[in-house]
Amino acid sequence: MSIETGPSASASAAEQEPPEPIVCSCCGKVTAQPRYAIFYEVKSFIVQTTRSAIQGIFCSACAEKKAFRASAITWILGWWGFPWGPIYSIHAIFTNMFGGKQPPDINARLAAHQAWVFAVLGKTDMARAVALDALSITKKIKPDKAYARMKKALGYDVTDEGAEIRAQIEKLLELIGSAGGGNRLKDAWGLFRRPFYVQGVVACVLFGWLGYAIETAPPSLPPRGPKPYVASQESYAPPRPAYVRPANAPNGQPWPTAAAYVNGFPHIHTNGFSKVTVDNSQNDSDVFVKLVSLDGPNGFPVRAFFIPGHASFTLDKVTAGNYDIRYKDLSSGSLSRSEQFSLEEKRTDEGIQFSNMTMTLYKVRNGNMKTYGLAEDEF
Ligand SMILES: [Zn+2]
């Protein structure tokens, strides 16, 4: 989760300053049903899969657009890496189709805040309807059992967050009284609405077409020559110069024993909030990785780190901006580069939103992999 919620509004603050309603982070409109939602966008690039979380507080119309965009990009670019491309893509497409991930604890607080704002502004009818909406969201809050058990074991009181928010909302409903009447909000986020059907139909059509294309595709063998001929089994390829795994990092420092930054390389762009995880857990080979900033006239490395095979490493406090990942497979010596990606950071009333990105590296077959325009001098 990449949102830090600020302190919840207290009753005393209400008397001092007019409350700010929560607005859609996209269009800036005040909505009766703002939701914090997370959509996923997947891009694969043969040797790696990138999954980005697109998150924010949205009105239902903007959420619909975000979900469509993320799903469309995933449909086009998500599949082309095996096996994580298809796995992440299917997860992303389904999550987006069902309205994204909507953490109920945050959303109950958002709705409760909005109800309180409407109440202070004297829109009791609206306030009541939004408070009832908030109340229904609290039912989806599941206590974190492991955390609760741990707290209990340490002798603390275990608080039920859902019950706590519910109590606040009920208190608010009491204050509003029955003046508002019994109006309920029309659920702008209901599941079986237009976006769900449209995305569902697109999914069915594309899967159907894919199935048909696979069924009817001719076998993809090259045509035979006019005379029977079978080449001899000898290989004429010149032998490659043998690659030797370097004993140390290029600056002479030893490789770390676990996933870690390599000493002596730049460690900058550290005043941000974004996180980038490079997941090498699918790969037997150790990799030497650089995070390269693309914001200047020339790209330059801002972090350099080592990840053993079957491990992963998370860079944190990364400054917002445009980057790519470049890495050397230390078993084969092959060099690869990711697509450019951007890390974003945004301050909202609810806290700071930032990017949280995972890049999965795949197994690279020994030495026979073409690289992506990444020459030794670009690494
Ligand atoms: Zn909006």
pLDDT digits (tens, 9 = 90+) for 145-179: 777 777 777 777 767 788 889 999 999 999 887 65
Condensed to tens digits (0 to 9), the pLDDT of residues 283-331 reads 888 999 999 999 988 889 999 999 999 999 999 999 999 998 889 889 8
Q: How far is the CA of 264 from the centre of ligand 1 (A)?
A: 46
Could you tell me the distance, in angstroms and rounded to a whole number, from the CA of residue 56 to the centre of ligand 1? Answer: 10
| pLDDT category of residue 210 using cuts at 50, 70 and 90 | confident
Q: How confident is the model at residue 341 (pLDDT cuts 50, 70, 90)?
A: confident
Distance 357 CA to ligand 1 centre (A): 24
* pLDDT given for residue 16 in this prediction: 56
What integer pLDDT is reported at residue 356 of this predicted model? 85
Instruction: Tell me, in angstroms, the distance from the centre of ligand 1 to residue 90's CA.
Output: 26
Answer with the residue of higher pLDDT: 153 or 112.
Answer: 112
* Closest alpha carbon to 20 in 130, 103, 120, 102: 120
For residue 34, report the distance from its CA to the centre of ligand 1, in Å: 9
| C-alpha separations of 245 from 20, 45, 272, 340 in Å | 59, 25, 34, 28
Average pLDDT over residues 13-21: 65
Residue 373: predicted pLDDT: 53
Ligand 1 centroid to residue 63 C-alpha, Å: 7
Calculate how far, in angstroms, residue 61's C-alpha sits from the geometric centre of ligand 1: 6
Give the mean model confidence (pLDDT) for residues 189-218.
76
Q: What count of other Cβ atoms lies within 10 Å of the Cβ of residue 30?
A: 14
C-alpha 19 – ligand 1 centre gap (Å)? 20
CA distance 160 to 14: 26
CA of 66 to the centre of ligand 1 (A): 10
pLDDT greater than 60 at residue 372: no
Q: Distance from the CA of 9 to the center of ligand 1, in angstroms? A: 23
The mean pLDDT of 91-118, rounded to a whole number, is 92
- In this predicted structure, what is the pLDDT of residue 367? 37
Q: How far apart are the first and last CA of the chain?
A: 32
CB burial of residue 237 (10 Å; 0-12, 13-18, 19+): exposed
Domain ranges of the chain: 17-212, 260-378
Query: Is 80 exceeded by the pLDDT of residue 6?
Result: no
The string of pLDDT tens digits covering residues 33-89 is 999 999 999 998 877 889 999 999 999 999 999 999 999 999 999 988 888 899 999
CA of 246 to the centre of ligand 1 (A): 53
Residue 215 tokens read as 């069924």
Residue 210 vs residue 100, higher pLDDT: 100
Q: How far apart are CA 19 and CA 230, in angstroms?
A: 81
Q: How far is the CA of 58 from the centre of ligand 1 (A)?
A: 5
Q: What is the pLDDT of residue 178?
A: 65
Averaged pLDDT score across all residues of the chain: 82
CA of 35 to the centre of ligand 1 (A): 10
How far, in Å, is the centroid of ligand 1 from the Cα of 95?
A: 20
Instruction: Give percent of the chain above pLDDT 90.
Output: 40
- Ligand 1 centroid, distance to 57 Cα (angstroms): 8
Going from the Cα of 229 to the center of ligand 1, the distance in angstroms, rounded, reads 66
Q: What separation in Å is there between the alpha carbon of 244 and the centre of ligand 1?
A: 55
Ligand 1 geometric centre to CA of 55 (Å):
13
Ligand 1 center to 192 CA (angstroms): 20
CATH 2.60.40.10 matches 260-378: yes
Question: How far does the centroid of ligand 1 lie from the alpha carbon of residue 40, in Å?
Answer: 18
Distance 25 CA to ligand 1 centre (A): 7
Q: Are 272 and 290 in contact (CB under 8 A)?
A: no
Q: Which residue has the higher pLDDT, 41 or 228?
A: 41
Least confident segment among 110-119, 222-231, 302-311: 222-231
184 versus 286: the higher-pLDDT residue is 286
Cα 23 to ligand 1 centroid, rounded to whole Å: 8
Nearest to 330, CA basis, from 245, 216, 236: 245
Tell me the CA–centroid distance for residue 341 and ligand 1, in Å: 24
Ligand 1 centre from 73 Cα, in Å? 20
Report the alpha-carbon distance of residue 131 to residue 126 in Å, rounded. Answer: 8
pLDDT, residue 2, reads 38
Between 354 and 88, the more confident residue is 88
Ligand 1 center to 62 CA (angstroms): 4
pLDDT at 240: 60
pLDDT band at 9 (very low <50, low <70, confident <90, very high): very low
Q: Indicate if the pLDDT at residue 235 is higher than 60.
A: no
Q: Using the mean position of ligand 1's atoms as its centre, give its distance from the Cα of residue 135 in Å.
A: 23
